[in-house]
Structure 1
Amino acid sequence: MIEAAMIWNEPNNKSHWDPNLDPDWTKFAEMAVAAGQAIKAENPNVPRVLGGMSPIDPGWVRNMAGKGVLDHVDAIAVHGFPLDWNLWKLDEWPAKIDEIKAVTDLPVWVSEVGISTFGAEEVQVWGLKRTAELLIGKAPRIHWYSLYDLPRDWPATTRHREAEGSSYYRHFYMGLIREDGSPKPALEAFGDYAPEMGLCQWFHYQDHRLDDAVAWMKRLGVTYLRTGLSWADSFRPNALDWFDRQMEALQDFDVTVTFCFTPEHRGIEPHHTSPPLDKQEFADFCASMIRRYAPRGAAVSRPLGREPRQAALAP
């Protein structure tokens, strides 16, 4: 069920981690190390992935290496949206991955890549095809973001929201399927690249799209998926019931589950981007999710191209 555990989402992006509260990334590093250790203690066969950096920054990777984070993960992930948010061209994707490979020997995943239909749906079709040409064979995992458009009455998970201008509204048009459930032109094209390309689809608490998403992914030939189990959501009423339902629905896929988002009452400041008051609380959440959905002895696939560190020592 769980093929990998990802620690945080876009950690070096100020929309998902508040750099004002952690200017040199020490708090993040300490939290990531604690989480990596906790995941390994529960099941050393589950690969640990450092959350997808955005922007793609070799300097940030060197910082994480210097703070010991890379000793506690088995892969490192990047996010890229050159046609929507990043200041580089789509054809630069291979070079961007090589920049990270130059500063670490860890496998490099692309855990989010996508193109919005904010301007034109035809752009997404061309961009999907070109992205597949550039990335298939270049990274062990490529997660296309996303299957569904974000409903307009749901806020995008970003700290600045409408202050970002049109950049904010692009969040709502990243799907292959419109909010009303109708397919966009790129949906059929995506099927040409599955299973080599997987999906990244976030499911909100009690998300009504879950069952339809599973049906669509099977129809498209998707075999692997990235989604999230939110630490913040874990404090909602009946949260474990929802987590169980989500993970049961996704049991036929190889799932990279992302652990992220600070509960307001457990942050230095009351916001999901805040470093936690106690790094061990986040680590304990990660451990509890592994214990529940990937217990020691459970079968785990090998998406990395090599075994997780010291997996051979596992009982």
Structure 2
Amino acid sequence: MIEAAMIWNEPNNKSHWDPEIDPDWTRFARMAILAADAIGAANPAITRVLGGISPIDPRFMARMQDFGVLDHVDAVAVHGFPLDWNLWQIHEWPAKIDEIRAVTDLPIWVSEVGVSSFGAEEVQHWGLERTAELLKGKVERCQWYSLYDLPSAWEATTRHKEAEGSSYYRHFYMGLLRDDGTPKPALEAFARHVTDFGLVQWFHFEDHRLDDAVAWMKRLGVRSLRTGLSWADRFRPNALDWFDRQMQALEDFDVTVTFCFTPEHRGIAPHHTSAPQVPEEFAEFCAEMIERYAPTRERQQVSTRPSMAVLGSR
């Protein structure tokens, strides 16, 4: 069910990794190497991707190179939202990709790109078309964020919440579908570019939108999907039941799963952005998920082989 595994999400963004705990990213680098090696040991065929960076910063990527992280992954990823949060213009996309290519020879994925319809849905439509023009053929993979708007009753995963002003509320309007499930004008444009774009959709724990999302993605012809499995959620009651349901629902897609979010009780600080107390525990979670949802052929055969007692009773 899993084609690729992404190690964390936006590690150079303080909304996802606490820089006060790990100011030089040495803890992150060690954790990423351990996770990459654990994923590779569980299934060497899985593509291992360094979590998409935001902002796009070649200095951060060079630091990961110096720490040896890039020797343990198969691709790197970037995220860009020039019409909403980044301090550069949309037409600079090719130059931003070139900045990363100057640092590494690894394949580059744009694992999140999107445009909020907060100001106007027409802006999102234009932004999708222009992004397709700029990135087609420029990167090895490009995934649009996202299918659904974030429900207004939920919280966006940012550090300062409403104190960010309109920047915070833009998070709620990134979908091709409105919160009520009705399509925006950009949906039709996405369908025309579906061979060039994959899709990103995060599913919250026991997300009520899962089945409808699958139906929409099949209707649109989506093949490549990026989603997440939360290490923090692993400690919820019935976590594996939900993970099983989610991954079974997504089995018809080429799934990139992002492993991230520190359980509060396992962090140096009690927050999902904290570096873990024991980084090997995150690696163990990654390996567990790969063994469960992307086992090697040998593991599949072992798990489905009848016992000798059953064979003898036939």
* TM-score, scaled relative to structure 1: 0.94
1:160-179 matches, cutoff 5 A = 160-179=160-179
Whether 2:150 is the aligned partner of 1:150: answer yes
SS of the residue aligned with 2:6?
strand
Structure 2 partner of 1:309: none
- The amino acid of 1:92's aligned partner reads E
Structure 2 partner of 1:212: 212
What's the CA shift string for 1:261-303, capped at 9, x where partnerless?
00111101111110001100000000000000111128xxxxx
Q: Distance in 1 between matches of 2:62 and 2:211?
A: 41
Q: Compare CA radii of gyration and give the structure with the larger one.
A: 2
Structure 1 partner of 2:307: none
- The amino acid of 1:88's aligned partner reads W
1:161 is displaced (CA, Å) by 1.1
1:195 is displaced (CA, Å) by 2.4
* TM-score, scaled relative to structure 2: 0.94
C-alpha contact (below 8 Å) 1:159/1:273 kept by paired residues = no
- The amino acid of 1:6's aligned partner reads M
Q: Distance in 2 between matches of 1:236 and 1:170?
A: 29
Moved beyond 4 Å, runs of 4+: none
SS of the residue aligned with 2:50?
strand
What's the CA shift string for 1:49-99, capped at 9, x where partnerless?
000000001100110011110011000000000000000000111111110
Structure 1 partner of 2:8: 8
RMSD value, Cα? 1.0
C-alpha contact (below 8 Å) 1:43/1:297 kept by paired residues = no
Structure 2 partner of 1:180: 180
Structure 1 partner of 2:72: 72
* Greater alpha carbon shift after TM alignment, 155-164 vs 84-93: 155-164
Structure 1 partner of 2:227: 227
Q: Distance in 2 between matches of 1:170 and 1:297?
A: 43
Structure 2 partner of 1:28: 28
SS of the residue aligned with 1:79?
strand
Structure 2 partner of 1:285: 285
Structure 2 partner of 1:140: 140
Q: Distance in 1 between matches of 2:277 and 2:292?
A: 24
Structure 1 partner of 2:124: 124
Q: Distance in 2 between matches of 1:57 and 1:247?
A: 32
C-alpha contact (below 8 Å) 1:50/1:77 kept by paired residues = yes
- The amino acid of 1:118's aligned partner reads F
Give the fraction of aligned pairs with identical amino acids, expressed as a percent.
76
1:8 is displaced (CA, Å) by 0.2
- The amino acid of 2:71's aligned partner reads D
Long gaps (5+) in structure 2 = 299-314
Structure 2 partner of 1:39: 39
What's the CA shift string for 1:217-255, capped at 9, x where partnerless?
111111100000000111111010100100000000000
SS of the residue aligned with 1:191?
helix
Long gaps (5+) in structure 1 = 299-315
Q: Distance in 2 between matches of 1:140 and 1:245?
A: 30
Structure 2 partner of 1:82: 82
What's the CA shift string for 1:132-178, capped at 9, x where partnerless?
11112111211100000000111111122112111111100000000
Q: Distance in 1 between matches of 2:21 and 2:53?
A: 18
